[in-house]
Amino acid sequence: MVENSQSLKEKLEASKKYLQNANLKGANLAGAELKGALLGGADLSGANLKKIFLGDAELHKANLTEANLEDANLNSADLNKANLNRANMRGLYARSADLRYANLSNADLTKSNFRQCSMFKVWMRNSDFSGANLQNIKGAQSQMQDSKFCGARMEGAELTGARLDGADMQGAVLQVANLSRAVLKNTNFKGKYISKYL
């Protein structure tokens, strides 16, 4: 017998420190309060995590492919090497999160907030960051090909050696962003706020 969403949510909220490698594939955890939860290696693929609170949570190597994280809070969470391929992250708040080596490809990240995140060597190809806040991210050597950053705030972003070929940066704010050694073939930079490092 499948556990109903409410009892599952309550059980996880009560035992959030013991969820490493948990199988939560397709679970409905919308609105759950899981601050500081230990979900390293957990399978949350296809899960409904809309408006979930995962501030300071441990999600190292977690599988979040095709998960719904719309309006979720991942403030200061550890998402190192997490897989968020094809996830819905519209309006996600993830300020100061650790996303090093994570996969954010083919994802919807419109109007998300990744300010001051560690994003070294992140895969974010074919993703939509339109209207997102990427101020002061540490995104050196990230793979950002063919992604949309239309109107994104990227002041102070560290993008040394990043691959932005084919990316759409129209209207993006890039003041004081560091794009030295970045690959910029066929990148659209239409707009008035251009980095001095270009």
Instruction: Yes or no: say if 17 and 40 are a contact pair by the CB < 8 Å rule.
Output: no
Backbone conformation region of residue 139, classed left if phi is above 0, alpha if psi is from -120 to 50, else beta: alpha
Q: Which CATH number fits the domain 1-98, given the four candidates 3.50.50.60, 2.160.20.80, 2.60.40.1840, 3.30.1950.10?
A: 2.160.20.80
Domain boundaries, the chain: 1-98
Contacts of residue 7, Cβ cutoff 8 Å, sequence gap at least 6: none
Picking from 138, 144, 193, 198, the residue whose alpha carbon sits closest to that of residue 167 is 144
Instruction: Yes or no: say if 33 and 14 are a contact pair by the CB < 8 Å rule.
Output: no
Quick count: other Cβ atoms within 10 Å of Cβ 157?
30
From first to last of its 198 residues, the chain has per-residue pLDDT tens of 345 677 888 888 887 778 999 999 999 999 999 999 999 999 999 999 999 999 999 999 999 999 999 999 999 999 999 999 999 999 999 999 999 999 999 999 999 999 999 999 999 999 999 999 999 999 999 999 999 999 999 999 999 999 999 999 999 999 999 999 999 999 998 864 555 555
Tracing tokens 């996600």 back to the chain, one arrives at 92
DSSP state of 7: H
